[in-house]
Amino acid sequence: MAAPVAAPPVTIPAEPPVRPRNDGSEATPPGGLVSGVWSSLRSVRDRAGDVLGDVWGESTKSADRIRRDELLVAAMAAAGFDLAHAVEEGYWLTSEMFVFELRREPTSQERQTARRLAADLNAFGGMRGYVEQEALRQAVEQRAQSAVLVRRIELQVAPYPWLKTVSGPSPFEQTKRR
């Protein structure tokens, strides 16, 4: 009797076989097609985020955004405005808004601190930076001696920056008259 012959080992391909196209080029396997499309979409999303981040002045790194928000709140506090509330909502298109209210009359040293912090904040740039600088300019440059002051600043920084100021009678003039 003859010795048994060993069967060749069976190999299972990692991907489905590639079917040739009619034009002579090779087609992508179905699994590869899905992962390739997903990878391409992710790449487009990341690149668009980088480009839009550069246009709007928004860093894609959350640590930079947190630092920028902290600088804004500190500069407004030095100018006499306290953060009344901050709202961030949305998933794909996030909306971020700060509302500041005038609480006290800043000293000249606090105004200088606000100007220094505004210069640090200006380094981030972009359209958001322009709106932030305008809000800080209005907060720092107003004088408590005037009869009408900016009493509330609403600042939306994302997805598109805008600024709204609400002026009213000076609360400092009323306390000085008494």
Quote the domain boundaries for residue 67: 61-177
133 lies in some domain: yes
CA distances from 36 to 2, 19, 30, 108, 154 (A): 52, 17, 10, 59, 44
Q: What's residue 61's pLDDT?
A: 52
102 lies in some domain: yes
24 lies in some domain: no
- Which of these, 77, 82, 78, lies nearest to 113 by C-alpha position? 78
**Other Cβ atoms within 10 Å of 78 Cβ, number:** 23
- Report d(CA 102, CA 32) in Å as an integer: 58
| Number of domains within the chain | 1
22 lies in some domain: no
Q: What's residue 98's pLDDT?
A: 95
Tokens describing residue 19: 């079917």
Residue 2, sorted as left (phi over 0), alpha (psi -120 to 50) or beta, turns out to be beta
Q: What is the pLDDT of residues 14-67, one digit of tens each?
A: 555 555 555 555 554 455 555 566 566 666 556 555 555 545 555 555 788 888
164 lies in some domain: yes
**161 and 127 Cβ atoms separated by less than 8 Å:** yes
145 lies in some domain: yes
